[in-house]
Amino acid sequence: MIDIIVTVCVLISLIFSILGVIGLFRFPDFYTRIHAAGLVGSFGILFMGAAVLIYAAGLFLSGEGAWLNFGAHILIALVVTVITGTTSTHAIARSAYRSGNRPDAKSDALKDDIESMKRREEKKR
């Protein structure tokens, strides 16, 4: 029973990761590709972690000792990937915009404000 649930979780994770990679090729410009990569970073990783957690629960039910090790490590890994994933996505998008990569978009609210914002930050430094 637990084997089936673990397999389903891994399959969902794989499906979303594959869709994310396909989106990397299909989407038009840099900023929209970030969203496709976010698909891998959120559901791809979360469901893989859920699969390991459920596997650890299965170990606990069958009375093996390694479940605590599995569960604790994957919990820490999930928290760390969530934090570093968001940080790196924001860092990539911010540095791309500041180095002159403009999105091909209908409305761009940042275009008017970026120069004054840069100047203010220069002054502070």
Partner 1 sequence: MKSIFPAILAGIAAFIIYLILSAGSALPNDGILLWSSAELIIGLILSIITGLICRKIWVGKSYRMANPLRWLLLIVYIIPFLIELIIANLTVAWKVITGRNIRPGIVKLTPGMKTDAGALLLSASITYQPGTASVDVDEESRELYVHCLDIGSDPAAVRQPGNIFSRIDLVKWIRRITE
Q: Does 86 bind partner 1 (CB under 8 A)?
A: yes
Q: Tell me the CA distances in angstroms from 89 to 4, 17, 36, 53, 74, one per residue in order.
A: 33, 16, 11, 26, 22
Which residues, other chains included, contact 50 with Cβ-Cβ below 8 Å and sequence gap of 6+?
9
Nearest distance from residue 90's CB to partner 1, in Å? 5
Q: Is 106 helix (H, G, I), strand (E, B) or coil?
A: coil
Q: Which of residues 48-77 bind partner 1 (CB under 8 A)?
A: 65-66, 68-69, 72-73, 75-76
Judged by CB under 8 A, the number of residues near partner 1 is: 53
Q: Does 105 bind partner 1 (CB under 8 A)?
A: yes
Q: Does 5 bind partner 1 (CB under 8 A)?
A: no
- Which of 5, 8, 10, 19: binder of partner 1 (CB under 8 A)? 19
Nearest distance from residue 64's CB to partner 1, in Å? 11
Distance separating alpha carbons of residues 79 and 20, to the nearest angstrom: 21
Q: Is 31 helix (H, G, I), strand (E, B) or coil?
A: helix
Q: Tokens 């002159």 label which residue?
A: 100
- Which of 11, 14, 61, 117: binder of partner 1 (CB under 8 A)? 117
Q: Does 119 bind partner 1 (CB under 8 A)?
A: no
CB 11 within 8 A of CB 42: no
Q: Which is nearer to partner 1, 27 or 57 (CB)?
A: 27
